Chain A
Amino acid sequence: MVDLIWMLLEGIWETLYMTVASTFFAYVLGLPAGVALVVCAKNGVRPCAPVFRVLDVVVNLTRSVPFLILAVAIIPFTRLVVGTSIGSPAMVVPLTVAAAPFVARLVESSLLEVDAGVVEAAQSMGAGHFQIVWKVLLPEALPSLLNGATIAVTTILSYSAMAGFVGGGGLGALAYNYGYYRYETDIMIITVILLIVIVQALQGCGNRVTARSDRRRR
């Protein structure tokens, strides 16, 4: 019994570890990419067709590869970065690669929601491109960005559950190893319930933080 609890705790830790680390790195890559997609777009602050087109294609390509296939396909790259292709730290690499383009799209759509008139007003006051991104687009889109981050983190969590198939750890691996290979349905059910609870908790936190950051309501 104690063993089981330890196993589950370890699973929770590994799941959270993979999710949080991957979300962080996905934003390190995806946030600038999303900003660039908006700034360089045809009606953007500083239109630049080549940058936009390259980013757009890269994002679409990466997003069309199913996660499991991507995770296997980039094993050599994962080895290069982490030194191994199995275990939770190794899973952060494919998770990041899979999530970054998704994050870029989320960021792009959040920034596009910012009223063009507000950007124009900032330009009329003599704001430069960097100031417009830093002082107008990002702060004005903050509630939407936080909402996007909630979606990103829960999506990455569900990806991480798939990581069990390709050598990763976490609750997904437990559910899969015990439930699928050893017919220990009770453990599978427990891990699924734990996953549900974690997703609910993340979503709840995200919603609360989003609402609190939103000044558009009275």
Chain B
Amino acid sequence: MGQETMIRIRDLGKTFHTKDGDVAALHGISLDIQKGDIFGIIGMSGAGKSTLVRCMNLLERPTEGEVVFDGVDLSALTDRQLRETRRSIGMIFQQFNLLMQRTAEENVRFPLEIAKTDRKQAAARAKELLELVGLGDRLGAYPAQLSGGQKQRVAIARALASNPKVILCDEATSALDPITTNSILALLKEINRTLGVTIVIITHEMDVIEKICNRVAILDGGAVVETGRVEDIFFQPQTEAARRLVYPEGRGETPFSASAQRCYRIVFDGNSSFEPVIAGMVLDCKAPVNILFADTRDIDGKAFGQIVVQMPEDGEACARMLRYLRARELTVEEVPQDG
């Protein structure tokens, strides 16, 4: 996948005029989403995520700045041109937003009807897409007869009907249970891989980003505070907002405090997660360690996070262990005892 920009946002701002004065929902946002990206935008509730994603297809009109979609400045388009461009930008929603009075197949056909596609062709396409999302046997089912995960699959098929270049996902898995969430994320990843559709994911869950995104922007208070590769942001969140999201329980900002002597923090920053480091160290040095705290994540086969261990009393064994760890290019630091 080349480094062509799919969505380019420059200095975007959105101010809502309300009775109680102006509210700046977004300000100074610049982002580049490349073709083929699965781009995550994460933030707490009220950070402006939903407004930002709606600025990408101009469901919300930005009050400042520009949104360039595949080389076209959206705000320069006429209403008609904008409607046509929107057909290249699929969108799925937290509440699925299916037409309740239409069957699954008729829902998928809906965008094609809007584009005035030939009926027969549309029906064939709808069938093909529902098969792609694994609902080939539920063509005639109404949304009320489908589970949440199935409804989102119909919505994905519907979003794909007009062969979009991008799919925008607005909290698409937030109403689903964890297992269904995984299956929907896997489906999105597959669509990204096989059809080359760029995907933008809005979420408040770090898990979602971790599972499928390659790049991420962190939104806080209506501004992008950090953006980059997912593993970089995971390992070294630069800002308070990022740390809050990566460590929702505040583990990142309040480091483990030791209540005993000889506690060492081992930091994993992308080492192979396949190598059993601690077990290897114990076997190699023939002395036990006491694991006091561990918080690591596996991202794409690499380990990120930290483990705090209490080293053996034997000073020589301890020194050997430290050498063992440093030889594997792990960062090791002593945690000072409390009090």
Contacts and interface: CB of A to CB of B under 8 A. Distances in A.
For the complex, would chain A's binding face be called helix, strand, loop or mixed by DSSP majority?
helix
A149 to B, nearest CB: 16
Given A124-B89, A126-B87, A218-B144, A135 B110 contact: yes
Interface stretch (B92-100, B179-187, B283-291): B92-100
B86 A126 contact: yes
B52 to A, nearest CB: 15
B59 interface: yes
| B interface, size bucket | 20 to 34
Contacts of B99: 118, 136, 139-140
A122 B91 CA distance: 10
Interface in B147-168: 158, 162, 168
Contacts of B90: 124-125
Contacts of B327: none
A218 B111 CA distance: 25
Nearest to B107: A121
B115 A215 contact: no
Interface residues of A, number: 24
A117 interface: yes
B59 A118 contact: no
Contacts, number: 77
A124 B57 contact: yes
A218 B93 contact: no
A128 B142 contact: no
Interface string B120-147: 0000000000000000000000111100
A117 B95 contact: yes
A218 B158 CA distance: 22
A182 interface: no
A126 B111 contact: yes
A217 B145 CA distance: 8
Contacts of B102: 139, 215
A125 B162 contact: yes
A215 B101 contact: yes
A115 interface: yes
Contacts of A120: 59, 93, 97
Contact of B93 (A117, A131, A215, A217): A117
A216 interface: yes
A216 B100 contact: yes
A195 B266 CA distance: 87
A199 interface: no
A215 B114 contact: no
A142 interface: yes
Given A121-B98, A125-B110, 6 more contacts: A125-B162, A131-B114, A139-B102, A216-B101, A216-B144, A217-B144
